[in-house]
Chains A and B, each alone.
Chain A
């Protein structure tokens, strides 16, 4: 009987909320896998996961945090959520550091009498928040995804604050020397997966994807679909956030050097660290589950981030070639 009840619960847990923050690791050089593993051993006794192909990727064990607070909503409906959220940190290419926080949300049934469950109930379901009272999925997602003006956190469930805190914790580790080759702003990538209107067709699918670059550093991804394995969606979001950060960061550096005269064909000095540390890290879709690759393709088609990236890399290589020619010319003269 209990098993059946759980199954019914799982059926209803089709909303996923989360946030990824991405930045440059606070170290003078790329970390080796062993160093990265030590950095991300955030839970004693639980190992980190390491992958070396196609790019070095190390991810910490999941951390569980209990929450009991009002859920966000656009309508202002204040419904309490109780449960746990999961967070993890990862390092890609020894250089790009990410913190991710996510949770599945189970909405209360209308008419059902909500009964406060003991914590053991919630601890047995990591990464799931149960909402007491009626709240529509759209209302919840709209409230969660709404741009927070100027980073002012509200009293509601604030995954961003947890995310920022975890990234800080990793970045201030004594294993990092704090001598960054250049400064790069962190991006905040907020995402939500809502149940699909078309009903469950059995196979995992995602329809209706919208990706918006909101403020300078805030991105919002909203998806509808039905995916049994919510963690695979988190993986997709991490991958998108990673490449969006890479593109944003290189773009900023290139913009800065384009408006300044480079003088005699010399390579603008700002480009050097980008070439050293970032250009080789572009590997879109490397860790995205097959069922979700169409989402990548869809975002790609509309915002064209790979085309933009190729364009940027081409420009940087041209600058490199020009500076080489200029040097040769000076040598001959």
Chain B
């Protein structure tokens, strides 16, 4: 299965959440790869604690160079050998493969041509053959990367491969409007996809949303609020729920919510069990939400047609 992660705005935690999903799925036994299509700022290496690929790799063998036809094959990093983090090396027993296809340092956006689409189709089909879960991390917004993936997934060789879309957005008014626009608006995913030959309804049904940095109003974090503050928060949250529903990104298409957690926000790296239970720096709710998301990504039920 190919899971395409995108967001309309930057700073939604798309990459950090995507990497954490990848890790958790691999720990549960799935073979997972993470493909960095965020050509302008490939940061997956940093999130996965791979110093040599922190901002993409040097040497012109990354994803960008491969798609542009400058490299015969893209570099693939076996993360169980490269992650510089205690507890993640070597591969824990029972874990599946976890492989990163890093971007190029100093890459950038580029217009899509026919050859590039061919290379993209060939790569993604091969990965879907070898991995249970292929996470493609796109640049934010209506990027060339988005065009490329929409063009590739409609080709005959990829059409039979299950593709699912995740749109990440923060739990704010502007982010909700932007996320809905990216999915259903002019030149959004459904619009662009339909123009390229995707079935409109089918494509719409394969999009789900993930809310990030969502304040959990029942948590201890908010226990010390004065009554007026608490009331205001409740009311604002209810407003946002109504707005999301009106924009058709309400509960029926919600795959998960990641609570506001300073560790996730500031460290922008993997959250392990040890962060939650031994070091006690991350909230248990964050770990639980990521686990739930990793399960739902692979599960068929949350993706049933509406």
Report A's interface with B, CB cutoff 8 A: 23-24, 26, 150-153, 158, 161, 164, 168, 171-172, 174, 177-180, 183-186, 215-216, 255-256, 258-260, 270
Contact = CB atoms under 8 A, between A and B. Distances in A.
11 contacts: A26-B125, A150-B76, A152-B61, A153-B61, A153-B71, A174-B156, A178-B161, A183-B31, A185-B130, A216-B78, A256-B94
Contacts of A150: 75-78
Given A150-B78, A185-B130, A178 B97 contact: no
A178 B130 contact: no
B133 to A, nearest CB: 9
B29 interface: yes
B97 A185 contact: yes
A180 B129 contact: yes
B75 A152 contact: yes
Given A150-B78, A152-B61, A255-B94, A26 B129 contact: yes
Given A178-B157, A260-B29, A151 B72 contact: no
Given A150-B77, A171-B125, A161 B31 contact: no
Contact of A183 (B61, B75, B131): B131
Contacts of B160: 177-179
A185 B96 CA distance: 11
B104 interface: no
B130 A186 contact: yes
A260 B31 CA distance: 16
Nearest to A149: B75
A151 B91 CA distance: 19
A4 to B, nearest CB: 40
Main secondary structure, interface of B, reads loop
Task: Tell me which of B59, B97, B130 has the highest count of chain A C-beta atoms within 10 A of its own C-beta.
Answer: B130
A88 B11 CA distance: 48
A66 B239 CA distance: 67
Top 8 A-B residue pairs of the complex, sorted by shortest distance between their CB atoms: A259-B94, A178-B160, A172-B157, A161-B72, A256-B29, A259-B93, A183-B132, A153-B72
Given A150-B77, A152-B61, A184-B130, A168 B122 contact: yes
Interface of B: 29, 31, 59, 61, 71-73, 75-78, 93-94, 96-97, 121-122, 125-126, 128-132, 156-157, 160-161
A152 B57 CA distance: 12
A180 B31 CA distance: 14
Contacts of A26: 125, 129
Contact of B31 (A152, A153, A185): A185
Main secondary structure, interface of A, reads loop
Contacts of B77: 150
B130 A260 contact: no
B204 to A, nearest CB: 23
Contact of B78 (A152, A180, A215): A215
B301 to A, nearest CB: 17
A216 B130 CA distance: 14
Contacts of B161: 178
B160 to A, nearest CB: 4
A110 to B, nearest CB: 33
Contacts of B59: 152
A72 to B, nearest CB: 14
A244 to B, nearest CB: 16
Nearest to B102: A150
Given A171-B126, A185-B31, 15 more contacts: A23-B129, A151-B75, A151-B76, A153-B73, A161-B72, A172-B157, A178-B128, A178-B129, A180-B129, A183-B31, A183-B130, A186-B129, A216-B97, A255-B94, A256-B94
B83 to A, nearest CB: 14
Contacts of A183: 31, 129-132
Given A153-B73, A215-B78, A255-B94, A171 B29 contact: no
B129 A24 contact: yes
A267 to B, nearest CB: 16
Task: Tell me which of A150, A171, A185 has the highest count of chain B C-beta atoms within 10 A of its own C-beta.
Answer: A150
Nearest to A186: B130
A50 B50 CA distance: 47
A168 B119 CA distance: 11
A270 B132 CA distance: 13
B132 to A, nearest CB: 5
Contact of B125 (A164, A172, A177, A256): A172
Contact of A255 (B72, B93, B121, B130): B93
Contacts of A258: 94
A152 B72 CA distance: 9
